[in-house]
Structure 1
Amino acid sequence: MRVKPLFQCLLVVLLILTAGLAGCSNNQGASSESKNKDSESEEKASDSGEKITITYGTWQEDKEVDQVIKAFEETHPNIDVKKDKSLGWPWNEKLSAAAAAGKLPDVFWTFGVPTAITNGWLEDLTPYLEKDEDYNPENTFESVLKTANYDGHQYAMPHSMHAIVMLLNTDLFEKENVPVPDSSWTLDDLRKASVQLTDYNNQQFGFLNPRAYREVLPVQFDNSLEWGTWDGEQYNFSSAAYVDSQNYINTLWNEDKVSPSVYTQEERDKWYGKDKDPWTLGKIGIRYDGTWGLKGNTDNNKFNWTVLPVPGVDGYRVPLVADYVGISKNSKHKEASYEFLKWLTFSKEGWFDRKDAGVPVARSIPLINDEEIWDAYLSDEAVPEEMKEIIQLIPDGTVDPLKAHPGYTEALNIIGSMNEKFDKGEANPSDVGAEMDQKANATYEKATEELDKAIKE
């Protein structure tokens, strides 16, 4: 930010500055005094045994929210938590309305951390974490943690984490006499198996929906990239990795026709029944999915299945999806809110409290790197044994930028519009990469400027 020369209109400026500084000094003192009073009031309420009530904004299902709140309140009897039922989808729009009305929840999930910072919704958690003796970033997955850290400020914490994986119907592999691959499999192995498992006459297909796989595929062609072709400084849609990944998907779809999604909804409804999932019916060999679905697959699949990492050309990186939680900048109970946030995120006690309360263990991969927690997680009936190998890949994983990377929502619109053109044969990935780079990098630069300005204010 440029500063205007002070020698211009010196006397006038000095008079304005003097008056302004006096006013600012009084206002800052009043603001500081008000904050201190709020803090003292909160501490006195806590010391006296009086309950503090905080509000919680989440898109988690009501049953699990009730379990979470009950478990927290049992171990923190001085804090009551009330779910904010006014929030819903579209999430950012609802948060914006709540903020405008001065009714942001004390603690809330955020679908876009940069958006929440730019709008002034989030408290900087850094001072709380720095004075918390229980907090050690080395006991978490720093690759995920740092996605919500901007210019050294931790504005949100990941409260859940999922891995993108491949699910394999091993019964179908056995039926078709196709060897079940191990975790060292490659993209060539995936394509070969998908073709071998496809039997159109029996409405059986090798791969459920290859096009859903597009976003995470470039990094599997070039492990130096991140999710979405990001390299740490810019997008790289003009790279060979992006072009090759899109051509791979097009081959599976147009040439190999390994997916029921290639065909019309009317045809699929005729084959499987309206709104029926061909994977659950046992008619799909390989499914691209996330670990959030492990329990559902355990409960609903009537066939044997396993889980493998997303394969690559020569090595691979596991794609990770994180969800984030923060504290309202205008909360009147920030210390109590921090206790709840801590319990939801990096507290070992909080993890076991939630487990004991019945919250499904397999719903999220633990964010706390602790042997007891890993033993409990891996012993859960909904977690396949093969998850051990995927967990080992997490420290070097690539994180979904949707909720934390500045400008990625806009970049995703650019990617999506090009995908539609690819699907219709109206564009070729090798011809439009430079244009995509220019547009996507511009969205990042604009969002970063706005974010930097908000952080410095």
Structure 2
Amino acid sequence: MIKKVIISFMAIVFIYVAVTNIYTNKVVIHLGIFVGNWELPNGNDYKVIDDAIARFEKLHPNVEIEYESGILKSDYSLWLANKIVNGEEPDVFMIVDEDFNTLSSLGVLKDLTEEIENDKKFNKDDYYESTLKAGQYEHKQYALPYESNPMLMFVNKTLLEKENIPIPENDWTLDDFYNICQQVTKDTNGDGAIDQYGCYNFSWLNSMYSHGIRLFDEDGKECFIDQDEAKEAVIFVEKLNKLNQEHIITKEEFNTGKVAFAPMSFAQYRTYKPYPWRVKKFSDFEWDCIKMPLISSNDKGSEISSLLMGISSRSKNADIAWEFLKMLTYEKETQKDLYKYSQGISSLKSINKSEDIVCLLGKDNKENQINVNLLDEVMNKTLEHSRFKKYNQALNLIDIKINDMIRNKNDIDIGLLELQKDINKYLNE
């Protein structure tokens, strides 16, 4: 009898110790995130993340996910840099687009190639090719897309209806775009000054995308800004500006319905289309969004931004971090939640084609032109750009020079030739 009691007691002690070890020796995964993914109003900043954490911790009772809340996107790069310098960077973290090349080149991000190739429950082909490439640096995968945000074209439906112009189809071209801008640009009150305009904020970079232009080679050693197509893209912006007789369209003019078109991200569309934001932002006219115009309807030229997530190369729990990264960027429930609680879209093909998403988009607006087929087409026609260490700096230099060229009406042939020489010199220093 005593022997049985002793054995029972020892069994209880063993179970107690085992259970205690499970709950006191938890693996802690640190997550780095910021609020305001697309710098737009959103009352559910942590909802998608918190729900994903709850599901992950339920599947992995010995794992606890921790993150620091309240970090703004504008402060995040500095916050992360300080963590890296102190050797305290999170195991899994969001990556601001401008920081990706630097983090990859410095070895901060873990190369995910081995995990992707060996994980039988992961198929990289489930992603849109362009969004997956956004996380590649020198042909290696350092990050996965958490959320994407394609560029669309805002259409002032009220203004076009007033001018008896039908809303363009989604296969419209740059010629169609210019012709409509030309028709609507006019003096409507007879005072001799133009007060209705074609397009607000259509940049040279928007034009480059619409013309299907790649600015750099894959290795980031050569710039192609002096190609004929790039000249045409800059000339196109100049033509649009001439329609306005050199008047610089203001944001106020756009907001009050005096402009027919403006590039707008899908995140902006989802934020400002439903009530009450629609009333607060654009109350005097009806509007919607369609695809950006291309040089040819068959070309690739869609512009997209992707919010990436990666793993620290110094993570002591890389295996668990990989599983959690998949929960955020690959698990279907998390990716569907982006449509419920965020403003961007999933980078997974199957999610954007699902009936669930059709219903969610329909709730935003019953007359919605943004349908699943449109989003899928935009994502498939994205123009990918090379990722290399000096990419962002080179693009900033080009932006300054081309805007100066347009503003001062400099000779484009000479300007782009000199600019290409300067950029190539910078790339190879």
TM-score band (shorter)? 0.7 to 0.9
> How far did residue 240 of structure 1 move?
1.1
Aligned residues: CA RMSD: 3.0
TM-score by length of 1: 0.74
> Which of residues 95, 98, 114 is equivalent to 1:110?
95
> How far did residue 291 of structure 1 move?
0.9
Rounded Cα–Cα distance in structure 1 between residues aligned with 2:424 and 2:21: 51
Rounded Cα–Cα distance in structure 1 between residues aligned with 2:337 and 2:165: 44
> Which of residues 320, 323, 326 is equivalent to 1:339?
323
Rounded Cα–Cα distance in structure 2 between residues aligned with 1:140 and 1:288: 25
Residue identity matched to 2:355: D
Q: How does 1:123-272 map to 2 (within 5 A)?
A: 123-201=110-188, 203-210=195-202, 213-221=203-211, 223=212, 225-226=213-214, 229-230=215-216, 232=218, 234-253=222-241, 255-257=242-244, 262=248
Higher helix share: 1
> How far did residue 217 of structure 1 move?
1.6
> Which of residues 295, 299, 309 is equivalent to 1:313?
295
- Asked whether the 8 Å contact 1:56–1:84 carries over to 2, the reply is no
> How far did residue 145 of structure 1 move?
0.8
- How far does the alpha carbon of each residue in 1:67-104 deviate from its partner, in whole angstroms, 9 at most, with x for none? 13320232122332323656753644443222112221
Rounded Cα–Cα distance in structure 2 between residues aligned with 1:240 and 1:345: 39
Is the counterpart of residue 394 in structure 1 residue 379 in structure 2? yes
> How far did residue 330 of structure 1 move?
2.0
TM-score by length of 2: 0.78
Aligned residues: 378
Rounded Cα–Cα distance in structure 1 between residues aligned with 2:272 and 2:128: 26
Rounded Cα–Cα distance in structure 1 between residues aligned with 2:260 and 2:128: 32
> How far did residue 64 of structure 1 move?
3.5
Unaligned runs of 5+ in 1: 1-43, 269-275, 447-457
Q: How does 1:271-350 map to 2 (within 5 A)?
A: 277-299=252-274, 300=278, 301-302=282-283, 303-315=285-297, 316=299, 317-350=301-334
> How far did residue 46 of structure 1 move?
12
- How far does the alpha carbon of each residue in 1:298-336 deviate from its partner, in whole angstroms, 9 at most, with x for none? 131444323222212333421222121111122233233
- Asked whether the 8 Å contact 1:173–1:285 carries over to 2, the reply is yes
Residue identity matched to 2:172: W
Q: Residue 306 of structure 2: SS of its match in structure 1? A: strand
> Which of residues 352, 369, 387 is equivalent to 2:349?
369
Rounded Cα–Cα distance in structure 2 between residues aligned with 1:63 and 1:386: 22
Point out the more displaced range, 238-247 or 108-117: 108-117
Rounded Cα–Cα distance in structure 2 between residues aligned with 1:330 and 1:209: 42
Rounded Cα–Cα distance in structure 2 between residues aligned with 1:406 and 1:64: 34
> Which of residues 393, 416, 421 is equivalent to 1:410?
393
- How far does the alpha carbon of each residue in 1:259-290 deviate from its partner, in whole angstroms, 9 at most, with x for none? 96x15xxxx5xxxxxxx744443332111111
> How far did residue 374 of structure 1 move?
3.2
Rounded Cα–Cα distance in structure 2 between residues aligned with 1:259 and 1:64: 42
- Asked whether the 8 Å contact 1:185–1:311 carries over to 2, the reply is yes
Residue identity matched to 2:291: P
Rounded Cα–Cα distance in structure 2 between residues aligned with 1:435 and 1:46: 69
Unaligned runs of 5+ in 2: 1-17, 37-41, 190-194
> How far did residue 141 of structure 1 move?
1.0
Q: How does 1:12-91 map to 2 (within 5 A)?
A: 48-49=22-23, 51-61=26-36, 63-77=43-57, 78=61, 79-83=64-68, 89=74, 91=76
- Percentage identity across paired residues of the two chains: 21
- Asked whether the 8 Å contact 2:352–2:376 carries over to 1, the reply is no
Rounded Cα–Cα distance in structure 2 between residues aligned with 1:46 and 1:130: 36
Q: Residue 399 of structure 1: SS of its match in structure 2? A: coil
> Are the structure 2 counterparts of residues 439 and 158 from structure 1 closer, same or farther at C-alpha, using a change threshold of 3 Å?
farther
Rounded Cα–Cα distance in structure 2 between residues aligned with 1:354 and 1:389: 18
Residue identity matched to 1:304: E
Point out the more displaced range, 105-114 or 436-445: 436-445
Residue identity matched to 1:414: L
Point out the more displaced range, 136-145 or 411-420: 411-420
> Which of residues 107, 126, 135 is equivalent to 1:120?
107
Rounded Cα–Cα distance in structure 2 between residues aligned with 1:143 and 1:235: 21
Is the counterpart of residue 441 in structure 1 residue 420 in structure 2? no
Rounded Cα–Cα distance in structure 1 between residues aligned with 2:236 and 2:20: 59
